Amino acid sequence: MVVNKRTAIALLTLVLLNACRSKISVPVNHGEPALIMASTITGNTHNAIPLINKKYNNKPRLAALVNIPDYCDTMQSFTIKQDAAVQVYGVGELVRPLAQVRAPYFLKNDDLEFFFHPSQNDHRNYLFTAVEGFMGTSGAKKSAITFSKKIDSTNHTAEFLISIPWNELGTQPKEGVEMDFDFAVGDNDDGIRQEGKIGWHTGTDPLVDHIYNYGKLRLTAKKDLSSQQDCIYSKYKTTDTLCWDNIPATAIEKVIAGEVKDKYDCGALLRSCWDKKNLYFLVRVYDFFIQYERRYISKEKVSTLKTLCDYGYIEDDKGRIVWAMSAMNTIHAGGCVKNRLADTVISLKAGTYTLKYSSDESHAYGHWDADPPLTPFYGIVLYQAN
Predicted pLDDT of residue 51: 87
3-state SS, residue 96? helix
Whether the pLDDT of residue 349 is over 50: the answer is yes
Residue 109 DSSP one-character state? P
Tell which wins on pLDDT, 6 or 296: 296
d(CA 325, CA 311): 6
Mean pLDDT of the chain: 87
Query: How much is the pLDDT for 49?
Result: 73
Whether the predicted pLDDT of 358 surpasses 50: yes
The amino acid at 244: W
Q: What is the pLDDT of residues 293-345, one digit of tens each?
A: 788 999 889 988 999 999 999 999 999 999 999 999 999 999 999 999 999 99
- Residue 191 burial by Cβ neighbours in a 10 Å radius (0-12, 13-18, 19+): middle
Please determine, for residue 15, whether its predicted confidence score (pLDDT) is greater than 70.
no
Can you tell me the mean pLDDT for 9-18?
48
Q: Is the pLDDT of residue 27 over 90?
A: no
pLDDT at 25 over 60: no
Higher pLDDT, 65 or 31: 65
Q: How far apart are CA 105 and CA 98, in angstroms?
A: 8
How far is it, in rounded angstroms, from Cα 106 to Cα 110? 12
Q: So what's the pLDDT on residue 12?
A: 47
Looking at residue 74, what is its pLDDT? 97
pLDDT at site 140 = 56
Rounded distance between C-alpha atoms, residue 334 and residue 371, angstroms = 9
Would you call 289 exposed, middle or buried from its count of C-beta atoms within 10 A (0-12, 13-18, 19+)? middle
Q: Which domains does the chain have, with CATH numbers?
A: 23-95+306-384 (2.60.120), 107-295 (2.60.40)
In tens, the pLDDT along 238-283 reads 887 778 988 989 999 999 999 999 988 999 999 999 999 999 999 9
pLDDT value of position 34? 34
Rounded CA-CA distance 41/22 in Å is: 26
Note the pTM of the prediction, 2 decimals.
Answer: 0.83
Burial of 35 (0-12, 13-18, 19+ CB in 10 A): exposed
**What's the pLDDT at 182?**
98
Mean pLDDT of the region 203-217: 95
In the prediction, which pLDDT does 144 show?
A: 85
Asked if the model's pLDDT at residue 33 lies above 60, the reply is: no
- How many degrees, rounded to 5, is the angle at CA 17 between CA 16 and CA 22? 100
Minimum mean pLDDT among 34-43, 164-173, 194-203, 309-318: which range?
34-43
Per-residue pLDDT reduced to its tens digit, 115-139:
999 888 889 999 999 998 998 765 5
Q: Compute the Cα dihedral for 201, 206, 211, 214 and give only its sign.
A: positive
- DSSP lists the bridge partners of residue 299 as none
